[in-house]
Homo-oligomer: A and B are copies of this chain.
């Protein structure tokens, strides 16, 4: 049986994978009285009205009127302009949160536009798929996933607790941390791995000696996992790298140093160094499985892929 709504009116600004999944989850669990949506293009708005919004509006300002929760779910680079637009129309006592992958830059862009009496509680769901857009959402996206909140010392505790109830109601696990620390942690676990995956896919594509078909045909040997990561939304990732520049460049510098050390070991034929290094990384994998962040099943617990039509030669 659905619980009582936690917010009477939720305004979703931006209607992609995350916002549509939130809408599906809020509907499934009865967490919101009304879900109002705004997106830049009329096509996206029409899809959202069809699939998961009670109402859509032609402007972001119209969407937030009377909403007790406003969710900014646009690319990080667009947050400042949206905040400037909606600021004057926010209801006193409303909570504004966001779902951006970078937090310090979002706070810097959004906070100046928040009127007194409005609670800004930045957030970041560590959930997603390689798909994007309003048709990509599904209600279970946040189940057992972390949702990081970066309130500051001045944040209203009751407003944070209320938002946390909503997120927990969608199945998320909640943690809070400082915005700067969030950006460094995410640079390590997400942003830099994504950039590296993009790079490796680019290398394979540029390499004329190896035809695309061979790279694709034999991709299951490790490359496939990079391509999944590298298939994520280009606009979102552009903004992540431009707005979390310092942390990403720091981690990239460390990565390059480390890669050069391994490259040198290969060139010098230093087998013991390579073996020690590779042995050590295994322990980290085990910790991740023990922490419940992945399955111990071989090959990610992937379902078998059906045989293609060509048969088996």
Residues of chain A at the chain B interface (Cβ within 8 Å): 77, 126-127, 129-131, 136, 138, 140, 143-146, 148, 168, 171-175, 184-186, 188-190, 192-207, 209-210, 212-232, 234-235, 237-239, 241-242, 245, 248-249, 251-252, 254-256, 258-259, 262-263, 266-267, 269, 271, 274-275, 277-282, 284-288, 291-295, 297-308, 312-313
Please indicate the chain B residues that have their CB under 8 angstroms from the CB of A235 in the complex.
275
Copies of this chain, whole number: 2
A245 to B204, CA, bound (A): 18
B275, B292, B308: the one within 8 Å of A305 (CB): B292
Contact A229 B225 (CB under 8 A): yes
Whether A220 touches B126, Cβ cut-off 8 Å, given contacts A259-B256, A266-B245, is yes
Contact A238 B274 (CB under 8 A): yes
Please indicate the chain B residues that have their CB under 8 angstroms from the CB of A284 in the complex.
201, 204-205, 212, 215-216, 227, 230
Contact A278 B234 (CB under 8 A): yes
Q: Specify the chain B residue showing the minimal Cβ separation from A308.
A: B292
Q: Is the interface of A mostly helix, strand, loop or mixed?
A: helix
Contact A130 B266 (CB under 8 A): no
Contact A291 B217 (CB under 8 A): yes
Contact B189 A223 (CB under 8 A): yes
Whether A249 touches B266, Cβ cut-off 8 Å, given contacts A275-B238, A280-B202, A285-B230, is yes
Given contacts A130-B285, A144-B304, A185-B210, list 11 more A-B pairs with CB under 8 A.
A168-B313, A195-B259, A196-B200, A200-B255, A203-B258, A219-B291, A224-B293, A224-B294, A237-B274, A249-B267, A300-B302
Please indicate the chain B residues that have their CB under 8 angstroms from the CB of A271 in the complex.
77, 238-239, 242
Whether A220 touches B285, Cβ cut-off 8 Å, given contacts A196-B200, A254-B203, is no
Contact B184 A287 (CB under 8 A): no
Please indicate the chain B residues that have their CB under 8 angstroms from the CB of A277 in the complex.
198, 202
Question: Which 8 pairs across A and B sit closest by C-beta, in order of nearness?
Answer: A129-B298, A190-B221, A231-B285, A234-B278, A292-B308, A193-B222, A189-B223, A230-B281
